[in-house]
Structures are given as C-alpha cells and as structure tokens.
Structure 1
Amino acid sequence: MSKIGIFVGSSGGVTQAAAEKLEELFDGAELINMEEDYDDLEQFEEFDVLLIGSSTWGQGDPQRDWVDPLYEMDNDEPDLSGKKVAFFGAGDQDTHGEHFVSALAKMEDIFKKCGASTGFGYWPTEGYMYKFSLSEKDGKFCGLPIDDINQEELTESRLTEWSKQVRQEMDI
C-alpha cells in the first residue's frame, strides 16, 4: 500500500479545509501543515505519494509557508524520483482571474526538476471563468483548482471526483 502525504500551505483556510477532506478521502494519508508540521525536505522522502496543496497569491505565487521549502528544493534539488505527485489549491477566478491557481504550475515545475513524477490529477478547465493561468496545459489545469469564493457549491464534489481520478492514475 502506498504511503500518502498531504502537504498543505494555507492562509485563508480554504486549501487547509480541502486538505482535510482529502485526508478523509485517502484513508490512511498523513496531513502535514507547512507552517506547523513541516520540518525539512527529508519529510517528502517518507511518502510514495505527495498531494501538494497551496493557495495562489500575488502574481501567481505559492502560499508563504511554501516559499522556503520551494527555494531549498530549487537550489538543492533533492532526489524525489519515484515519488508520484499531484497538486491542488485555492484561487479566486473572478477577482484574481489573471493569475488563477498559477502557483500550482510553479510548484509542479520545481517538483519535476527534483525528479518527481507529475502529470497526475490534471483537471479540465471547463466550468471555470478566469483570464489566465500558468497552470493551464492543453485545456487542463495541472492540478485541482478550488474556488470557494465563486463556486463553493462545487468544492466537495470536485474533491471527491479528483481523489478518484488520482487514485486511478497513480494506481493506489
């Protein structure tokens, strides 16, 4: 059985709530809050599957608790080969539609640079109304966008469907 780690950085609580729901949906997964529970890059090595959650801030940047770990990863390039990684995160497609969930793409690029297997959990762009996203790749987002401001009623069903999709794609 694959060991699953859910690593989350959340300021407003939306991405944290999504991570907690995913913890329920992925029975046996361990939830690591980047502010409270994260120690160092070696924690990633403890898991076969990494579900990486971050809201998007500013010009499409990851949530602040990810800044130092991503900087270390980008510079130290730890060996994450063999790790299967999927991304999820909160964004506001109306007010911040010009950078909607762009943090997911920035994070994916760094994890990929470290040898992780990405490309899991890509989610269709249909049903979202945004201007631009770095996370859009061939008509899909490189993870699951959550917009509790404009589409809160869809969050739970999206998380449930995404968890099924990720399980199937990762064969877990």
Structure 2
Amino acid sequence: MQESQSIYDMEVTTLEGERQTLEPYRGKVLLIVNVASKCGFTPQYAGLEALYRSYHDRGLAVLGFPCDQFGHQEPGNAEEIRSFCSLTYQVSFPMFAKVEVNGPETHPLYRLLKSAQKGLLGSEAIKWNFTKFLVNRTGEVVQRYAPTTTPESIAQDVEPLL
C-alpha cells in the first residue's frame, strides 16, 4: 500500500457485489465496524443502527464489514447476511462483502485502519468482531474501539466531529 493512499481510495465490494471506492463517503464522519451475525456482540447492530439514524442527517455513515475470522460467527452468504441484518435489526446503514481483518489476506482498508490506530499494547491485530474505527471528515482515523465498547458510548466522540 502506498503511504499517501487515502481511505477514500480504498476499493470495497458492497453486499450486493458492486465494487466501489469509499470516495462517496468523503466529507462524512465514518464508523467502520467488522460485524458478525452469530457473535455475543451481535446485539450491537441495534446500537449501530440507532447511532446511524440519529446522526446520518448530520453526516455520519456507519459502514459494516462482515467477517468470519472469529469463531466462524459469520457463516452466511451475502443474501443471508442482508436478510439477517434487515429482519433482525432493521439495518439501513451500508453493508459490504465479507472481508478478512487479520492475516495475509487482510483487506487493504483494514490494513490502513489498523496501522493508523493500533490496539491494546500497540498491537495492530483485530481481537474480535465489532471492533470499531472512527474516521473524521478529512479521512483521518481518530479512534479505535474494542468490541466491548457500545455504540451508545461512542456517540460522545461522534458529536464533536459532525
């Protein structure tokens, strides 16, 4: 990855299979989350959706990236993920295709996020599903949150960025 590569240059695939960059999100505050439908933290979908609905009109975008690297907790295909998120949590924020967040196949977006905001004791590794990264309006990764950090508690950090 080039040193000067912007988060907006990152190519991602939507849950519908369309390839795009994050350019449409330039100028927005982003909360990027690796999600899973069979995880102890899965109920956080409700909090993420509430955060998105509360602040979307002011410029927040929550971006969900399903990941099956932790205890096989996201076994579904795109249609199953879409259906689960929609029916169970009424998710309306953008969801993307499954990604790997650790290891040799780490998605470039997660390589960028992890190098910008290291975790506990300086580790870049994502420890579990529902690790969250907050990105300001200029594309700077400003905060990393543990899976145990609730979306509700992140609102206090989102507010000043809007």
Query: Which bin holds the TM-score, normalised by the shorter protein?
Result: 0.3 to 0.5
Q: Pick 1 or 2: higher relative contact order, CA cutoff 8 A, min separation 6.
A: 2
Normalising to structure 1: TM-score of the pair?
0.32
